[in-house]
Amino acid sequence: MKNYTSINDIENINSWIEEAKEIKENPLKNIKLGKNKTLGLLFFNSSLRTRLSTQKAALNLGMDPIVMNVSGDAWGIEFGDGTVMNGNTAEHIKEAAAVVSQYCDIIAVRAFPSLTDRQKDESEHVLKSFVEFASVPIISMESATGHPLQGLTDAITIAENTTKKRPKVVLSWAPHVKALPHAVANSFTQAMQKMDVEFVIANPEGYNLSKEITKDTKIYHNQSAAFKDADFVYTKNWSSYEDYGRVLCTDPTWMITKDKIANAKFMHCLPVRRNVVVEDAVLDSDASLVIEQANNRTYAAQLVLKKILENN
Ligand code: CP
């Protein structure tokens, strides 16, 4: 594996989960693997978990992480080919990616979608430009359409917490005050499709994710029907895909409550808006796995870095 930009880069999710669990048991076992190697983390958008857990993962492998908030601190980057750069952008991605490659052995990039131009967002022009113009491996720390480090984390967390051979996992939309990307829901769906679980999605009418992602996954527009006998309820808001980037529904009856999830474990990638997406009684209960998920972000990132270091 040269790059990790999608859940589809995982050849065998079960063996990856087992390897991640081994890393978690002994995180410093490969402390010499990344000696004298530098990981560059480039953020076009905000982060708490991804920023810290990916640095922690690099440190556990003996790497030196360096971080840059690209949007605030770097020159404005131009991605268009053949553009006459007489506007606000000062540096082309062709030079920027090549230059960062001189300082870093692996580059990790976070770049969210516009949520205004579906075709452009789906082209993944930022992430794909780094893959094209950098001379070192690229890791997605969340792109326009995917969050594969989060999806891998979530697969590890479900495998660790299941008491059944084939648990029922529900991905449920929940309300939110802002229009949010589809990336987490997309990567979670792709990860669940690779696992031996009964996986269904619950979302209001008008909120179906891309058919390219959901494929044959059963979609309910009735949340309580979807939640019947659930072992894991994974919650995330996303804006409409069909009416791209718009908020069509803020119905509070879709908020996750203790009564609704019954005996299921609750999962969310965080950050989460309390009492909008999910009530306090869920997050403050033993049913919540959100802190364990955040912890597992380190081991998912460490597994990906380890595989790239070993293969390059
Ligand atoms: N879950 C997640 O990616 O968190 P951050 O946006 O804080 O990195």
Topology at the third CATH level for domain 149-293: Rossmann fold (3.40.50)
Q: What is 1-57 written as a DSSP string?
A: ---B-SGGG-S-HHHHHHHHHHHHHSTTTTTTTTTT-EEEEEESS--SHHHHHHHHH
What is the average per-residue pLDDT within 287-308? 98
Please tell me the predicted confidence (pLDDT) of residue 260: 97
**150 within ligand 1 shell (Cβ under 6 A):** yes
What is the average per-residue pLDDT within 4-14? 98
CA distance 290 to 285: 11
What is the average per-residue pLDDT within 284-289? 98
The rounded Å distance from CA 72 to ligand 1 centre is 18
Q: Is 115 left (phi over 0), alpha (psi -120 to 50) or beta?
A: left
Amino acid 14 reads N
The rounded Å distance from CA 83 to ligand 1 centre is 33
Please check the confidence at residue 164 and state whether its pLDDT lies above 90: yes
Equal CATH topology for 7-146+297-311 and 149-293: yes
The rounded Å distance from CA 270 to ligand 1 centre is 6
CA distance 179 to 286: 30
Domain ranges for the chain, please list them.
Answer: 7-146+297-311, 149-293
CA distance 248 to 204: 9
**49 within ligand 1 shell (Cβ under 6 A):** yes
Please check the confidence at residue 72 and state whether its pLDDT lies above 90: no
Band of residue 312 on the pLDDT scale cut at 50, 70, 90: confident
Question: Does the domain made of 7-146+297-311 have the CATH classification 3.40.50.620?
Answer: no
**269 within ligand 1 shell (Cβ under 6 A):** yes
Tell how far CA 174 is from the center of its chain: 17
Cβ atoms of 73 and 43 within 8 Å: the answer is no
Cβ atoms of 242 and 210 within 8 Å: the answer is no
pLDDT digits (tens, 9 = 90+) for 168-223: 999 999 999 999 999 999 999 999 999 999 999 999 999 999 999 999 999 999 99
At 3, list the tokens.
Answer: 């790059």
Please check the confidence at residue 303 and state whether its pLDDT lies above 90: yes
**47 within ligand 1 shell (Cβ under 6 A):** yes
Please tell me the predicted confidence (pLDDT) of residue 159: 98
What is the average per-residue pLDDT within 90-104? 98
The rounded Å distance from CA 53 to ligand 1 centre is 9
Q: What pTM does this model have?
A: 0.98
pLDDT digits (tens, 9 = 90+) for 105-142: 999 999 999 999 999 999 999 999 999 999 999 999 99
pLDDT digits (tens, 9 = 90+) for 208-267: 999 999 999 999 999 999 999 999 999 999 999 999 999 999 999 999 999 999 999 999
